[in-house]
């Protein structure tokens, strides 16, 4: 059973394998994402993060917010400064919060006893167990040059996979986040890891590193990466091949 | 001496094999480029942009649908669409019934820091040309969120151009 909702400006899909799935579980998961959006969106003036950026004194910050900001600091250290949520004095932890929220949503499902499911929030995914056919999950990596196309298929059981990258149309390669700036040498990087929280934050940092991003992933134990370069070639970490699906 | 000759021959063989392999790989890649896009790929992923669009197709083919429609000349501003990392808002410029320019009025700032990357040589990691695969998958991973917002904003701009 699968449901999709548009939350945080992106499609969030939850599929739980099995016919006896309680509908209320979907609501619980989507409500959780709505809660996260309401608290961490810097584009909602009444969110806690917006109030903090507007000068809310530290003693009024929630326990969870302090934890998130500590996790951001830790990630910044682990990625040699490439993961940085502070810009112009304003904090924006959404780059970490997305993967963290998917991870927590997966824990909600696990807590209710579900073992076979996936949660996909705008292309960042946590899979668990097996698909409806009783096989490991088949995950495609989207072609950043042609979003109708899949350029790699990977087989996952209980793992997180996140892609960080840009958006390419026709002959024009540009970064929608900085349309006037020249693009880097890389277009996207997909990272597979034991869970989506870590896969996502490392994918974000690796993408910011440009060509060296794949080296960074190579150095991380238990993480594999597939980096798509501007010239339509891909560079992969040494263990990535172990995830590639055999063609059927 | 004899050992050295053998070593030389062996490494020569390795080099030749590699050349042959890379030639074959390159040949494969060239043929891979003409593979037609598969629409199933997107339908297996979730794409509300496509379900909301009257074209009922994937985002990029939805764009083609937008392009082919006749529009009144002028500039049309789309609604700001939430891209989670911020809002995206575009302005479409129509001349002679066709889109001639799409300008970003609003776009979120990049999340990443802009630290200079030093161009040190990378260790040897396997490389390949990207190649279309069959689309039999359960889920698709990709950077989709901002493109989704871009399409949403452009769609509203073009709806204004139609009326």
Q: Do B125 and A238 touch (CB under 8 A)?
A: yes
pLDDT of residue A139: 96
**Domain tally, chain A:** 1
Quickly count helices (H) and strands (E) in chain B: 5, 6
- B53-101 per-position pLDDT tens digit: 333 333 333 444 444 457 888 888 888 776 655 567 778 888 888 777 7
- A169-188 per-position pLDDT tens digit: 543 445 455 555 555 688 89
Distance CA A94, CA A72 (A): 10
Residue A248: inside a domain: no
Residue A197: inside a domain: yes
Q: Do A235 and B125 touch (CB under 8 A)?
A: yes
Q: Do A208 and B112 touch (CB under 8 A)?
A: yes
Q: Do B142 and A43 touch (CB under 8 A)?
A: no
pLDDT of residue B18: 58
Distance CA B122, CA A237 (A): 12
Dihedral of the alpha carbons of A108, A114, A116, A119, in degrees to the nearest 10? -20
Residue A205: inside a domain: yes
Distance CA A169, CA B1 (A): 59
Instruction: Give the CATH number for residue A115.
Output: 3.10.520.10
Across A71-75, A243-247, B65-69, B98-102, least confident range: B65-69
Contacts of B145 in chain A (CB under 8 A): 9-10, 122-123
| Whether A86 contacts chain B with CB within 8 A | no
Percent of chain B with pLDDT over 70: 37
Cβ neighbors of A58 (< 8 A, separation 6 or more) are none
Residue A116: inside a domain: yes
Q: Which domain holds residue A161?
A: 2-243
What is the three-class DSSP state of B21? Answer: helix
Interface test with A, best of B141, B148, B152 (most A CBs within 10 A): B141
| Whether A248 contacts chain B with CB within 8 A | yes
pLDDT of residue A147: 79
Closest by Cα among A91, A45, A89 to A66: A91
Q: Do A176 and B120 touch (CB under 8 A)?
A: no
Contacts of B55 in chain A (CB under 8 A): none
């Amino acid at each position: 059973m699968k449901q999709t909702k548009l939350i945080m400006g992106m499609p969030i899909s939850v599929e739980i394998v099995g016919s006896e799935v309680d509908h209320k579980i979907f609501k619980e998961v989507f409500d959780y994402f709505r809660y996260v959006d309401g608290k961490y969106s810097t584009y909602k003036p009444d969110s806690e993060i917006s109030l903090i950026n507007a000068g809310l004194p530290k003693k009024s910050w929630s326990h969870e917010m302090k934890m998130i900001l500590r996790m951001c600091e830790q990630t910044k250290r682990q990625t040699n400064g490439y993961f940085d949520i502070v810009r112009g004095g304003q904090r924006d932890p959404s780059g970490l919060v997305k993967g963290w929220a998917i991870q927590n949503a997966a824990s909600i499902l696990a807590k209710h006893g579900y073992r076979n499911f996936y949660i996909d929030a705008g292309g960042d995914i946590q899979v668990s167990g097996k698909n409806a056919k009783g096989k490991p999950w088949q995950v495609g990596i989207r072609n950043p040059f042609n979003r109708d196309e899949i350029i790699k298929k990977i087989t996952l059981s209980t793992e997180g996979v996140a892609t960080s990258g840009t958006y390419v149309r026709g002959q024009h390669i540009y970064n929608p986040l900085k349309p006037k700036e020249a693009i880097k040498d890389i277009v996207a990087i997909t990272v597979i890891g034991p869970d989506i929280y870590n896969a996502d934050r490392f994918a974000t940092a690796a993408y910011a590193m440009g060509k060296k991003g794949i080296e960074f992933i190579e150095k991380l134990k238990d993480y594999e990466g597939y980096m798509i370069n501007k010239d339509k070639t891909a560079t992969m970490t040494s263990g990535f091949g172990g995830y590639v699906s055999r063609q059927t | 001496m004899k050992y050295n000759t053998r070593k030389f021959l062996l490494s020569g063989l390795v080099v030749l094999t590699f050349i042959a392999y890379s030639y074959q790989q390159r040949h494969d890649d060239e043929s891979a480029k003409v593979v037609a896009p598969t629409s199933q790929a997107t339908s297996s992923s979730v794409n509300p942009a496509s379900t909301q669009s009257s074209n009922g197709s994937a985002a990029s083919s939805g764009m083609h649908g937008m392009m082919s429609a006749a529009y009144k000349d002028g500039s049309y501003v789309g609604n700001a669409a939430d891209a989670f990392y911020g809002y995206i808002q575009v302005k479409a410029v129509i001349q002679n019934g066709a889109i001639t320019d799409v300008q970003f009025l609003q776009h979120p700032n990049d999340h990443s820091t802009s630290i200079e990357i030093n161009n040190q040589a990378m260790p040897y990691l396997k490389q390949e040309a990207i190649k279309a695969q069959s689309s039999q998958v359960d889920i698709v991973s990709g950077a989709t969120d901002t493109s989704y917002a871009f399409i949403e904003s452009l769609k509203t701009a073009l709806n204004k151009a139609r009326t």
